[in-house]
Structure 1
Amino acid sequence: MLKKSEYKALYISVRCNGKLLLRVLIDNGSALNICPWNTLIKLGFQEAKLWQSATVVRGFDGAKRKSMGEVDLVLQVGPAQFQVMCQVMNFSSVYNLLVGRPWIHASGAIPSSLHQILRFVVNDQLITVFAEDDCTMIVNSGPKEESDRKALVSPHHVADIVSIGWVSKDKAVMEMNLPEASIMMAKEMIR
Structure 2
Amino acid sequence: MSIDRPFAENLTPSPKKSRVEVGPALSFFDEDKVGTSQPHDNALVVTLQIRGYDVKRVLVDQGSSAEIMYPDLYKGLKLRPDDLTRYDSPLVGFDGKIVILKGQIRLPVQARLEVVEVDAYSPYSVIVARPWLHAMGTVPSTLHMKVKYPSGD
- Compute the TM-score of the two structures, normalised by the length of structure 1: 0.52
Q: Deviations over 1:114-147 (max 9, x none)?
A: 2101011135xxxxxxxxxxxxxxx5xxxxxxxx
Contiguous gaps of at least 5 residues in structure 1: 80-91, 124-138, 140-191
Q: Secondary structure at the match of 1:122?
A: coil
Q: What is the root-mean-square deviation of aligned Cα atoms in Å? A: 2.0
CA, structure 1 residues 115+69, in 2 after alignment: closer, same or farther (shift >3 Å)?
Answer: same
1:52 CA displacement: 0.3
What do residues 70-116 of structure 1 show as CA deviations (whole Å, max 9, x unaligned)? 0111112128xxxxxxxxxxxx7411010001111122211111210
Runs of 4+ in 1 over 3 A off after TM superposition: none
Matched residue, 1:126: none
User: TM-score, normalised to structure 2's length?
Assistant: 0.64
The match for 2:129 is 100
Counterparts in 2 of 1:157-172, with a 5 A limit? none
SS in 1 for 2:59: strand
Aligned counterparts of 1:17 and 1:73: Cα–Cα separation in 2:
6
SS in structure 2 at match of 1:71: coil
Which one of the candidate residues 36, 47, 71 is aligned to 2:70?
36
Distance, in Å, in 2 between the alignment partners of 1:111 and 1:49 is 30
State the number of aligned residues: 109
- Map 1:77-96 onto structure 2 (within 5 A): 77-78=111-112, 93-96=122-125
Percent identity (aligned): 29
The equivalent of 1:49 in structure 2 is 83
Deviations 1:130-178 (A, max 9, x none): xxxxxxxxx5xxxxxxxxxxxxxxxxxxxxxxxxxxxxxxxxxxxxxxx
1:12 aligns with 2:46: yes
Matched AA of 2:65: A
The 3-state SS of whatever aligns with 1:121 is: coil
Structure 2: any 5+ residue segments left out of the alignment?
1-37, 114-120
Q: Which has the larger radius of gyration?
A: 2
More strand by share: 1
Letter in 2 for 1:26: V
Higher-RCO chain (CA-CA 8 Å, sequence separation at least 6)? 2
